[in-house]
Amino acid sequence: MTLKFGTDGVRGNASELDDAFVAALARAAARVLGDQQFVLGMDTRESGPRIERALRAGLEAEGCQVELLGVVPTPAVACLCAREGVPGAMVSASHNPYFDNGIKFFAAGGLKLSDAVESQLEETLHAISESGSSVEVPGGETDVPDAGRVEQYERSVMESIESRSLGGLRVVVDCANGAGSHVAPDVLDRLGAEVIVLHAEPDGRNINADCGSTYPADLQLAVVSNKADVGVAFDGDADRLLAADEKGELIDGDQIIAMCAIDRRDRGRLAHDTVVVTVMSNLGFKIGMTDHAISVVETAVGDRYVLGALESGGYSLGGEQSGHVIFRDLATTGDGLLTAVQLLDLMCRSGRFMSDLADAAMSRMPQVLKNVRVTRRVPLIVEAIQADIDAVESELGANGRVLVRSSGTEPLVRVMVEATDEHQADVMADRLVDAVRRVAI
């Protein structure tokens, strides 16, 4: 099996995650993560129960006691790992289509694995595979999970706003037919919001299908048609969030982080008056933070790199433009529902429209992002087209920037160009897309 760890665990077509591979991976995890207890969750994909059974079989073969959480958001798994000091795994391919799946591991304490630990896992998996030993994976139905375990996660999110209410807000919630389909509307309703629910009827194949944070058009239209105050959209495993303001305009992760950073700084809750983001964040974000006397630390793409910087610097807030937001004083990983609750609480406390809050936090520079599907990987893609990048950067000067990188989860090369003019950014991005295709297709 050639699957390797990317920026967010192991991910690929569900057929590649066969029982033998998954069971061997589980055995490796049991040996490397070193605990006799393990918690498992999954999203709503039709392949989830099969992969869950294989994970359980592999873990139990190594003597682990396994607790099945059933369909839960990824941050619910991390939350229980943190509270109980045990490792866990989430069966999910996040924002990918239903025919993909993946496995995200959490160490005891709820943190994602470091590069060093992932390398150790890969080595142990290889040794197990080479040994020829195997584990029998039973078929049939899985155990019914304890609903009270999910309630613990829900309570932790609700308690994050310190007994305040979201009463008076009309909120559209797009659950992406994913893991947040029950939990998210329930929590927001219990906090007092009037909730209008979209795409919360998972059938195993409709997760992320023209809905959720990767396809927010339905959300934007529903906010306007229902005269809602705001809309929030999750991805398939509910660890990321995008929003729509009262006019139906999209609010991305940069804007969410900017609003929360300013609010926390004003309340003395932004550690070191610093926020952590990735190289994909809009240049307008950095300008906005400078205007509000907030320092910015930049990392490679991937929420675990953001988390690493948060940990090493003792910072409390960070995230990605895609909507992964980490409130490190409240959670150990990106949490879409927690982010939604924090954002809505900010609206209630301020008494302001979402559009006003977003506009005051930052102004987005025109940014064009294009994904180039490649037939062969070019590990040093930047070096391969460096002359083309240099030429574009020279034309943009100080008023723009370029970022070219290979996706860590899909056979894509991502090309991002920022400029003061959207047409210029689009033209420059097309030039770099042509350069990528020249060397990788």
Backbone angles phi and psi of 347, in degrees to 5? -60, -45
Residue tagged 């005269």 (tokens): 227
8 near 74, Cβ under 8 Å? no
* Rounded Cα distance, 42 and 352, in Å: 37
User: Which residue stretches of 267-335 are H helix?
Assistant: 283-291, 303-313
Active site amino acids: 94
Q: Are 425 and 367 in contact (CB under 8 A)?
A: yes
Q: Determine contact, residues 69/149, Cβ cutoff 8 Å.
A: yes
Closest CA to 240 of 248, 232, 230, 250: 232
Query: Look-up: residue for tokens 């584990």?
Result: 135
The CA distance from 180 to 208, in Å, is 12
Number of neighbours of residue 287 by Cβ within 10 angstroms: 14
Within 13 Å and on the Cβ side, how many CA atoms surround 412? 13
Continuous H helices in 160-216: 183-190
Query: Is 54:25 a contact under the CB 8 Å cutoff?
Result: no
- Are 415 and 432 within 8 A, CB to CB? yes
Q: Taking the C-alpha atoms of 208, 210, 213 and 219 in order, what is their torsion angle to the nearest 10 degrees?
A: -130
Sheet (strand 88-91) strand order: 5-6, 9-13, 100-106, 88-91, 37-42, 65-71
